[in-house]
Structure 1
């Protein structure tokens, strides 16, 4: 997914943003968001009827794309009156020499960078430090933002949430690796011997991107 322009220069990354056509689920999520915004702000009762119909169409498309029951999809999105925005997933990038810290998720038994949804009331640096401490037992100092990625344009499985992913490099300062109740295991892994990854959370190309930033600290933040 990412290619080096020259072996003598820092790698130049290209984004798949212009190469990936939106899927049926992508279109459905966009329609649902527009319908919800219309239902929130429109003062016209006739337009409200149209937005409600668009919402039903979006849910039907999601049902066709994912197989999830319509009632569960309706409950997932609810009847909130608010402007729809992406969710934010924050991931910590901790290196130990040439190895990277990964955690084994209890949800699917696969491995990911430590992290999770951003919490209200916490800065991104506070979120990533808290998540790493909770999931691995390590105390870290966040040092720099490596990437801000749109989950839709990377090789993740389809998901109902529209998500931006923040990758923040951190330095381990103390602690002993100790998995939490919802993490099955944790450890440092060589980039050429990674365990099976939880693709819902991180992809091999994103791990490669983290190593590129490690080896070329002069690189700008990767931004979709």
Structure 2
């Protein structure tokens, strides 16, 4: 479960963000600005990130705060799951990333698989929608819905790109080092278990 300090900081940030946007009274706006500063100070106290960077990452939106959406493409071949090696940390993950605001879930995941693995795929079913803080030990400044989508291979193979180093198919027993901010072993286990069932229901929190 998410640390209480992070939960409190994110809630304060959400209250401040909405308050700044909707308030008309200049004194109320000043109070909400201070609440936002407190949320930044909490994050700075418990992490090694400086205040300016926290403001850029954590306080860069306006209006009512809603969760970000992270899409992850799940593609199997001969009982193995497709993973890509991330440029940023050299670790492995399901192809995916933040959803583009102007694309559907289907379009987003198909785009991510093509960009990161060079594969043209067709999105078929939603395996799960996770509230990330309930399934990850890695803290996040954002509320995140992580959507795992089963996809079907159509054509293509890995091509060099700016996001990933290579791709490969892995069994659950032979997983490489995972990029834990993107996915963890229990989430991959969920995908393997889901595909093995005759009756499949979308899991969600």
Which TM-score applies when normalising by structure 2? 0.94
Find the counterpart in structure 1 of residue 107 from structure 2: 126
CA change 1:138–1:21 in 2 (3 A) is closer
CA distance in 2, matches of 1:217, 1:66: 45
Deviates more, 1:97-106 or 1:156-165: 156-165
Find the counterpart in structure 1 of residue 168 from structure 2: 187
Q: What's the CA shift for 1:53?
A: 1.4
Q: What's the CA shift for 1:77?
A: 3.7
CA distance in 2, matches of 1:79, 1:211: 37
* Deviation digits for residues 36-75 of structure 1 (CA, Å, limit 9, x no counterpart): 1011112233322221111111110011122211122123
8 Å CA contact 2:121–2:154 kept in 1: the answer is: yes
Find the counterpart in structure 1 of residue 73 from structure 2: 92
Find the counterpart in structure 2 of residue 9 from structure 1: none
CA distance in 2, matches of 1:214, 1:79: 39
CA distance in 2, matches of 1:156, 1:181: 27
Find the counterpart in structure 1 of residue 64 from structure 2: 83
Unpaired runs of at least 5, structure 1: 1-19
CA change 1:85–1:217 in 2 (3 A) is farther
CA distance in 2, matches of 1:183, 1:213: 26
Unpaired runs of at least 5, structure 2: none
Find the counterpart in structure 2 of residue 61 from structure 1: 42
CA distance in 2, matches of 1:80, 1:210: 33
Aligned residue among 89, 112, 116 for 1:135: 116
Find the counterpart in structure 1 of residue 194 from structure 2: 213
Q: How does 1:19-168 map to 2 (within 5 A)?
A: 20=1, 22-78=3-59, 80-168=61-149
* Deviation digits for residues 58-99 of structure 1 (CA, Å, limit 9, x no counterpart): 110011122211122123344643111111100000000210
Aligned residue among 161, 166, 180 for 1:199: 180
User: SS of the residue aligned with 2:152?
Assistant: strand
Deviates more, 1:193-202 or 1:72-81: 72-81
User: SS of the residue aligned with 2:56?
Assistant: helix
CA distance in 1, matches of 2:52, 2:39: 13
